[in-house]
Amino acid sequence: MEKVISCFGRRPEALTRLICFPWAGGGSIHYARWGNVLNSSMEVFAVKLPGRESRAREPFFENMQQIVDEVLAALLPLLKEKPFALFGHSFGAFTSFAVAEDLKKLHNLEPVHMFLSGASAPYSEIRIKAPKRSELPDHEFLQWLTSIGGTPQELLANPEVLQLFLPALKADLHLVENYRCSKPDVPFLGCPVTCFDGKEDIPHDLQAWRNITSGDFTIRMFDGSHFYLKDAGNEKILLDYITKILETAEIDYL
């Protein structure tokens, strides 16, 4: 499991697990450190994809099913043990959706809550018509990357660092830009779903996520753009909200 998951502190006594999926080009550390912030009733697992961090020498995945299969192979026994929630931002929202879909359809398991951030539903019109950024020349790609924020300027200005960073980002974007799924005929989940987004980000069709669940559906907006969650103030609000939601789910479970 350690190959696929970063966890800064195992908590066997935890009542719930929060499984976090990285944004495009991202690693696992940003989410893994949430395990040091959230209370002891929660254990945080951050998904670590090939082509980065300790898996830097591994080839990038080429399709969504590869991610789903690897995550389920690593986590399925643990997901059967106790309640879990899924969190994904941007690219991570798509991967968490794909994992949730297979968990329900193949294993009749579902999270106690889905947290989806910074992304339109994968079957929404606005997402299907979105331009394919991964095919841009590097200079245009960097202009777009600068425009959405969240990437330190010193990184963008360092050609050597960019050579390490850009391949993973473009590989993830290529994967998700070619990921297709149909709008569910009926909701396949019954758990609550919460969508988050930055008020200054490009418009996302968050309402379309409502189609995946028959449970409660909520949207919460934050000050900031695409990487609103990197702001310390926003992160605190986000984690306080997730904590409140999962503590309530724990009480319901018990």
Catalytic machinery residues:
90, 226
User: What are the tokens at 200?
Assistant: 């200054």
* Whether the Cβ atoms of residue 195 and residue 219 lie closer than 8 Å to each other: yes
Phi and psi at 203, nearest 5°, equal -60, 135
Q: What is the C-alpha to C-alpha distance for residues 90 and 232, in angstroms, rounded to an integer?
A: 19
Q: What is the DSSP string of 94-118?
A: HHHHHHHHHHHHHH----SEEEEES
Helices (H) and strands (E) in the chain — how many of each? 8, 7
| Of 43, 25, 23, 22, the residue nearest 34 (C-alpha) | 43
Query: Cα 133 from chain centroid?
Result: 19
